[in-house]
């Protein structure tokens, strides 16, 4: 496996900021020779030439037959990557017009990330840590479970009651050998939690973060599920300090460049696994109760990296004084910014692709700054993610 190390220098606020990204692997789904590109434990599946994003010639197709739990023709399945404390995932997804998912408040599972704490063939259901990226009933979500870590001497159930704990959950002293998801209590941010007896001697312990509303809708428009949408997710594992796990991990979820889920107080690991790192990606669409109908999802242009190309995890991005529209864009973008003072010399604008290459350097000349904006032709750019530096600000847009 080969990693591509990319360094991009950006002039920001009068000094040079070094932004680094390691691309761990890229999958464009142009053919189904997945094994040759590092996929294993499956390495099969349907390639569709009828469905794909603009600029592509094919994508991965997952068709659920009625009553079926997984893709009818299988999936590329698992892909290892260089161990890392933080991970960024970018992909495009589309659902058939009749897509119903599971019709339950859980499933389908879609994408998983696992760690070096488990064997490369273990999981994703019962592990020391599994991360989830999916949408249930149209609502995007991120989740984690660490069922192998559950301390079964003291279990906090979904109904708020407890089992064991020497008769008092609040006074029970947990060690670092515990679950951080739900069954042994919860530290840090979360929207929902889940703890139940999974059978086989395990409790399923999970924590979930939801978007505020449905973003994959039945109605035609910007959120129509039968159009292509760009999804990005980011995870940064928490630190271990003084022999304890600290609630300083991060999660992010973007939908067509809009941030929907953002938390900075997450704990993923305890000192039981101080060297735990993310190292495995899994494509695993799964409906546990069986698909209610025949329905299809498509996936295109997957990128797995250590971080976004530009550090917009915490950066001053999408700020009000600069805006880009339309976003996603097809033929052009309009960059709006406050009118400049006469004689200021204009605003320097540069466009970078995901690999840090400057693909366009339009300059707002001194004759035009009073308009407070500029139209830029992007019709010649390949579909993908781009970053625009507008003076001392950075913004992202998607070309489709």
Residues 184 and 264 in one domain: yes
CA 87 – CA 81 distance, rounded (Å): 10
Question: Of 240, 239, 230, 243, nearest to 264 (Cα)?
Answer: 239
Residues 241 and 379 in one domain: no
The answer to whether the beta carbons of residues 321 and 338 sit under 8 Å apart is yes
Range 237-245 average pLDDT: 97
Query: Locate tokens 């991360």: which residue?
Result: 131
* Preceding amide of 335 cis, omega within 30: no
CA 375 – CA 357 distance, rounded (Å): 21
Residues 255 and 371 in one domain: no
| Residue 81 or 329, more confident | 81
Highest mean pLDDT among 53-62, 109-118, 382-391: 109-118
Q: Is residue 7 in a domain?
A: no
pLDDT over 90 (residue 8)? no
Model confidence at 376, pLDDT cuts 50, 70, 90, reads confident
pLDDT over 70 (residue 50)? yes
Residues 298 and 382 in one domain: no
Q: Which two tokens stand for residue 310?
A: 């530009």
Of all residues in the chain, the percent with pLDDT exceeding 90 is 66
Q: Is residue 9 in a domain?
A: no
Q: Quote the number of domains for the chain.
A: 2
pLDDT over 70 (residue 18)? no
Residues 351 and 296 in one domain: no
The answer to whether the beta carbons of residues 145 and 184 sit under 8 Å apart is no
Residues 79 and 227 in one domain: yes
Domain termination site, one of 253, 271, 305: 305
Model confidence at 356, pLDDT cuts 50, 70, 90, reads low
What's this model's pTM, rounded to 2 decimal places?
0.81
**Count of other CB atoms within 10 angstroms of residue 97:** 11
pLDDT over 60 (residue 364)? no
Q: Is residue 160 in a domain?
A: yes
Q: Is residue 256 in a domain?
A: yes
Q: Which two tokens stand for residue 190?
A: 């979360």
Residues 149 and 290 in one domain: yes
Domain termination site, one of 305, 335, 352: 305
What SS3 state is found at 34?
helix
Q: Is residue 315 in a domain?
A: no
The DSSP symbol for 215 reads -
- The DSSP code sequence of 105-154 is SS--EEEEEEETTS-TT--SSSSS-EEEEEEETTEEEEEEE-GGG--TTE
Q: Is residue 269 in a domain?
A: yes
CA 258 – CA 174 distance, rounded (Å): 38
CA 355 – CA 80 distance, rounded (Å): 21
pLDDT over 50 (residue 1)? no
| Residue 345 or 115, more confident | 115
- pLDDT tens per residue, range 257-287: 889 999 999 999 999 999 999 999 999 999 9
CATH number, domain of 274, equals 2.60.120.200
Query: Locate tokens 């605003």: which residue?
Result: 347
pLDDT over 50 (residue 370)? no
CA 12 – CA 389 distance, rounded (Å): 9
| Residue 398 or 154, more confident | 154
The answer to whether the beta carbons of residues 53 and 301 sit under 8 Å apart is yes
CATH number, domain of 369, equals 2.60.40.10
Residues 286 and 331 in one domain: no
The DSSP symbol for 237 reads P
Question: Of 162, 133, 139, nearest to 150 (Cα)?
Answer: 162
Domain containing residue 334: 323-399
Domain termination site, one of 263, 279, 305: 305
- pLDDT tens per residue, range 157-215: 998 899 999 999 999 999 999 999 999 998 898 899 999 999 999 999 999 999 999 99
Q: Is residue 299 in a domain?
A: yes
Residues 178 and 68 in one domain: yes
CA 20 – CA 230 distance, rounded (Å): 22
CA 203 – CA 145 distance, rounded (Å): 10
Highest mean pLDDT among 134-148, 154-168, 190-204, 361-375: 134-148
Degrees to nearest 5, angle at CA 41 with 303 and 73: 85
Paired residues of 142 in beta bridges: 133, 209
Burial classification of residue 6, based on how many CB atoms lie within 10 Å of its CB (0-12 exposed, 13-18 middle, 19 or more buried):
middle
Residues 192 and 328 in one domain: no
CA 39 – CA 281 distance, rounded (Å): 9
The answer to whether the beta carbons of residues 176 and 270 sit under 8 Å apart is yes
The answer to whether the beta carbons of residues 251 and 212 sit under 8 Å apart is no
Residues 201 and 227 in one domain: yes
Q: Which residues, in sequence order, are CB contacts of 261 under 8 Å at separation 6+?
A: 140, 141, 142, 209, 210, 211, 251, 252, 253
First to last CA, the chain: 29
Average pLDDT, the chain: 86
Residues 79 and 176 in one domain: yes
CA 149 – CA 268 distance, rounded (Å): 11
The answer to whether the beta carbons of residues 322 and 338 sit under 8 Å apart is no
Q: Is residue 298 in a domain?
A: yes
């Amino acid at each position: 496996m080969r990693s591509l190390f990319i360094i991009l220098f950006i002039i920001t606020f009068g000094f040079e900021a070094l932004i680094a990204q390691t691309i761990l692997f890229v999958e464009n789904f142009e053919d189904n020779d997945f094994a040759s590109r590092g996929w294993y434990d499956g390495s099969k599946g349907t390639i569709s030439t009828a469905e794909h994003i603009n600029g592509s010639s094919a994508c991965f197709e997952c068709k659920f037959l009625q009553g079926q739990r997984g893709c009818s023709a299988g999936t590329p399945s698992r892909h290892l990557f260089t161990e890392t404390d933080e991970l960024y995932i970018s992909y495009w997804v589309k659902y058939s017009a009749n897509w119903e998912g599971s019709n339950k408040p859980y499933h389908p599972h879609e994408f998983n990330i696992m760690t070096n704490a488990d064997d490369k063939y273990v999981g994703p259901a019962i592990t020391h840590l599994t991360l989830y990226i999916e949408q249930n009933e149209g609502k995007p979500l991120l989740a984690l479970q660490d069922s192998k870590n559950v301390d079964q001497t003291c279990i906090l159930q979904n109904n708020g009651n407890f089992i064991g704990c020497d008769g008092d959950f609040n006074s029970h002293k947990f060690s670092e050998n515990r679950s951080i998801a739900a069954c042994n209590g919860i530290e840090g941010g979360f929207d929902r939690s889940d703890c139940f007896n999974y059978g086989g001697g395990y409790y399923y312990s999970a924590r979930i973060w939801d978007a505020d509303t449905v973003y994959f809708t039945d109605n035609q428009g910007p959120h129509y599920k039968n159009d292509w949408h760009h999804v990005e997710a980011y995870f940064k594992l928490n630190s271990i300090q003084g022999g304890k796990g600290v609630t300083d991990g991060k999660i992010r979820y973007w939908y067509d460049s809009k941030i929907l889920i953002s938390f900075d107080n997450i704990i993923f690991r305890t000192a039981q696994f101080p060297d735990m790192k993310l190292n495995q990606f899994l494509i695993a669409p799964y409906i546990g109760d069986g698909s209610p109908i025949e329905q299809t999802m498509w996936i295109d242009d997957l990128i797995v990296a250590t971080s976004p190309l530009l550090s917009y995890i915490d950066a001053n991005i999408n700020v009000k004084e600069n805006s880009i529209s339309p976003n996603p864009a097809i033929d052009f973008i309009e960059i709006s910014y406050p009118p400049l003072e006469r004689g200021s010399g204009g605003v320097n604008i540069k466009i970078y692709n995901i690999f840090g290459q400057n693909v366009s350097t339009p300059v707002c000349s001194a004759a035009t700054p009073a308009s407070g904006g500029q139209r830029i032709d992007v019709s010649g750019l390949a579909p993908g993610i781009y970053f625009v530096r507008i003076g001392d600000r950075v913004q992202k847009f998607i070309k489709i």
